[in-house]
Structure 1
Amino acid sequence: MITPSKMLRSLAWLALAVVPIAPGHSLAAPQTAIATNDFLDSIGVVTTFPDRGQPLARTIEMVRYCGFRWVRAGIEGLSDNGPTTIQTFLDLHRETGVRLNWGLVSGGTDVKKLVETGKVLAEAGALLAFEGNNEPNNWGVTYQGEKGGGSERSWMAVAKLQRDLYQAVKSDPVLAKYPVWSISESGAQKDNVGLQFLTIPPGAGTRMPDGTTYADYANVHNYIYHSHSPYPADNKTWHAADPTAASRVDGLFGNFGVTWARGFRGYTQEQLDTLPRVTTETGTTIGGAVTEQMHGLNLMSLYLAQFKRGYAYTSVYLLRDRTDEGGNQSFGFYKADYSPRKAAIYLHNLTAILADKGILAKPGKLDFTIADQPETVHDLLLQHSDGTFQLVVWDERLSGQDRVTVHFGDTRASVRTYDPTIGVDPVQTLSNVRSLETTLSDHPIVIALSPSMQ
């Protein structure tokens, strides 16, 4: 519901500006849109299941409300007798449509169980991908009698396990088409077993042989607040998604470029720029300078920044605050009592605004430009299956505002603008639009554009 005060706030930052551009004038090379569902499919979450005290029915409610498309899961806590069984995940998929990335999780080594249960998920259309070990630097493994990761000096056991996981998936006729995601925290390797590569290239000088394949996607845990970047700042989530050495968090470069623990060489920057990648954990706690409002804004911008900067899938930690362990009581989209935080409300609004049940066969192109675009302002061009362009423009400014003008190459018959911090209804509808002037600050707006009038 849009209250009068919220409407005044909306109208304060949005105004129409008309500029003298000749009909048909091209502002720049038209940009090809991305199907809206491709972005929505990238939005995932880490959650708890009944074995850790969270009833499935409540999980379904929360997942539906926020609009998550996938959930990070795995064989940890899974049993034949419950309370978490394979049927738990099948029911979650049936009721919400989410798919599961299926992992060994922390310290797991049972590749046979992972593959067998993964086939059940695949046959139900519930499988997204397979994932290697969760943070082996924190949870070591014992594989085929050999210890690795954790406090051990060598990571050979971790490397052999990931190699065998990959081979087991790709040799199965049902599962071969599904991607395998790497372990997380490959940058913590103590010896150079080559886990900073998806496939070890010739001449890499690693302990595992050249040509060893571990994964199809690099997997990182690039939490947006880090010991090297501990405070709120402009472009917080944009910098966390940075694939270069400039990123000060535990990101792509420090795990697959030059490893952060021992400096083992991995991919060049040119290779990193296009390296297939996912994030299976990111997010932030609430506390200190990070208020519930900032937490909500950070998580909304995070999904946009990650996707724009090349992450195919992003999972935020955590759906609901843990109740069975210390230290995890303020990450959640939801509080322990299942009440939604602003993060849940804002993400619900964003996914509801963008919602698309159709399929877009081939995205089109839009001629637009943002004049004098500030470094904290970013954009993502999406297209709905009905042909409507959905231009998401967001600012990551800690304080202050940016006044920007979006110019279109053609006159648009109708433009609707949405603000997910206000609600799911348009905050303004305009006709015959060639340019749009808006004031941005710390969150996204969605500009829905009808076909051009030409």
Structure 2
Amino acid sequence: MFFSEDKPAPVRSVSAVGTSEFLNSIGVNSAISSRGEKLEKTIEAIRYTGIRWIRSGYEGDATAGDYKTLNRETGVKYSYGLMSGGADIPRLLKGAHMLAEIGALLAFEGNNEPNNWVINYKGQKSGKNESWVGVAKLQNDLYKAVKADPVLKSYPVWNLTEGGAQTDNVGLQYLIIPAGANTVMPAGTQYADYATCHNYFSHPSHPGLYDNQTWNAADPGRLCKVDGLYGNYGRTWRGKFAGYTEDQLISLPKVTTETGVTIQGDFTEEKQARLYLNLYLAQFKRKWSYTSVYLLRDRSDEDGNQSFGFYQKDYTPRKAAVYLHNLTTILADKGMAKKTGSLAYVIANQPETVHDLLLRNSNGKFQLVIWDEKATGTDQVNVTLGKKYSTVKVYDPTLGESAQQTLKNAGSVTLTLSDHPVVIEL
């Protein structure tokens, strides 16, 4: 990385997003204090990584006290859901009231992957290879129950996951079933405020390591190579039922409650760590409001999920935890920027694997995050700023939390990028 005195290229004004808005999108799956996880270690891990929210539900053995302690010690919030096979809406709302009282509730979530779990709701077996009418009724009843509750009605409801697997066209590819959809459930049925996906960036439908891996998984349209938004809300992957148009999918409110990759083959611990950084950035840039990686700590009770985690079973941090700690420390912001404003800059001849996200910290500093998603090799890019800045700092979260370079009176920065982000602060 070095400062270039070349004449600046034509620049454009780019609107910034508050740094805290991005940081708030960073989530993880955790059982908190059950399934082998220990509350005190979860507290340490959340503090260290800077993760802001946890995907959870009533199926675990974590107590109300555990939820409260973790929130008090870290400020973390929770999406709270029915999870795998759950159908007890009153129980879910009871736990949600507890979380709302302490300011820790983020959102509700419907069932986890009904294609893998049979749901028994009001005497009707549903999900997997059965009719999905029961699943649909459960999700609709959850939505109505939340919105009828005077305390909880302001919280968003996230849809169930893998609606693309519905066997009959119950309309789960919509948040609200539109007129003329010809679905089993009637037009006007509302399921959720947000679409929800498990868009794992390495998937049997497109395995291996490739350029723009997390960027592609976050693609809202049919270009997505994995189990993404289009296959669940555009044209369902199982029954090929029509849903939203690609133009509608771009602006559809959406969240990811599971994604990640195990360490194997080309996906080394180092590569996993870099991909997880790219993942959070790509998802946010492509308008996913929240993203949760599976998992915080490797499961000790689930075969096949032994290397997804930021932490090993004994809580040894993987590089993914270290690099995320560095990134959230570099960007650290507990406030909200009063005015995000805009910054003039241009990345000349920007390669298709290079992406940028402009943030503004509540301290007024701009933080321009630029990342490359090349599977192998490097790109050299020049970032031309709209004017010269007295001090420009360049950070690389794979090398540490301190600035790797400080430039004076700089109007441009040249970067050698490969497969992870750098941060330019000015």
TM-score (norm 1): 0.93
Match of 2:198 in 1: 221
Q: Does 2:82 correspond to 1:95?
A: no
Please give the per-residue CA displacement for 1:189-245, whole angstroms capped at 9, x wherever unaligned. Answer: 000000000000111100000000000000000001111210101111111111110
Deviation, structure 1 residue 26: 6.2
Match of 1:7 in 2: none
Deviation, structure 1 residue 91: 1.1
Please give the per-residue CA displacement for 1:366-399, whole angstroms capped at 9, x wherever unaligned. Answer: 0111000000100000000011000000001111
Deviation, structure 1 residue 411: 1.4
Give 2:260's match in structure 1, choosing from 265, 283, 287: 283
Match of 2:111 in 1: 133
Match of 2:124 in 1: 146
Match of 2:52 in 1: 69
Counterpart-to-counterpart distance in 2, 1:91 and 1:175: 22
1:54-453 matches, cutoff 5 A: 54-78=37-61, 84-152=62-130, 154-449=131-426
Deviation, structure 1 residue 143: 0.4
What SS does structure 2 have at the residue aligned with 1:386? coil
2:36–2:299 contact (8 Å) kept in structure 1: no
Q: Does 2:7 correspond to 1:16?
A: no
Moved more, 353-362 or 156-165: 353-362
Deviation, structure 1 residue 447: 0.2
Percent sequence identity is 57
Match for 1:185: what amino acid? E
Counterpart-to-counterpart distance in 1, 2:378 and 2:37: 41
Structure 1 alignment gaps of length 5 or more: 1-13, 79-83, 450-454
What SS does structure 2 have at the residue aligned with 1:50? coil
Deviation, structure 1 residue 85: 1.2
1:26–1:367 contact (8 Å) kept in structure 2: no
TM-score (norm 2): 0.99
1:376–1:397 contact (8 Å) kept in structure 2: yes
What SS does structure 1 have at the residue aligned with 2:310? coil
1:407–1:435 contact (8 Å) kept in structure 2: yes
Match for 2:345: what amino acid? F
Match for 1:278: what amino acid? V
Deviation, structure 1 residue 362: 2.3
Match for 1:245: what amino acid? R
Match for 1:87: what amino acid? G
Match of 2:29 in 1: 46
1:48–1:322 contact (8 Å) kept in structure 2: no
Counterpart-to-counterpart distance in 2, 1:338 and 1:181: 30
2:31–2:60 contact (8 Å) kept in structure 1: no
Match for 2:11: what amino acid? L
What SS does structure 1 have at the residue aligned with 2:248? helix
What SS does structure 2 have at the residue aligned with 1:310? coil
Match for 2:5: what amino acid? V
Counterpart-to-counterpart distance in 2, 1:150 and 1:264: 17
Deviation, structure 1 residue 323: 0.7
Match for 1:145: what amino acid? G
Aligned alpha-carbon RMSD (Å): 1.0
Counterpart-to-counterpart distance in 2, 1:437 and 1:53: 46
2:37–2:297 contact (8 Å) kept in structure 1: no
1:19–1:434 contact (8 Å) kept in structure 2: no
What SS does structure 1 have at the residue aligned with 2:289? strand
Match for 2:121: what amino acid? Y
Counterpart-to-counterpart distance in 1, 2:34 and 2:115: 25
Please give the per-residue CA displacement for 1:22-65, whole angstroms capped at 9, x wherever unaligned. Answer: xxx9622x111000000000000001233312110111111111
> After TM superposition, what 4+ stretches of structure 1 lie above 6 angstroms from structure 2?
none
2:14–2:344 contact (8 Å) kept in structure 1: yes
Deviation, structure 1 residue 87: 1.6
Deviation, structure 1 residue 20: 2.8
Match for 1:231: what amino acid? G
Please give the per-residue CA displacement for 1:275-295, whole angstroms capped at 9, x wherever unaligned. Answer: 000000000000122111111
2:370–2:421 contact (8 Å) kept in structure 1: yes
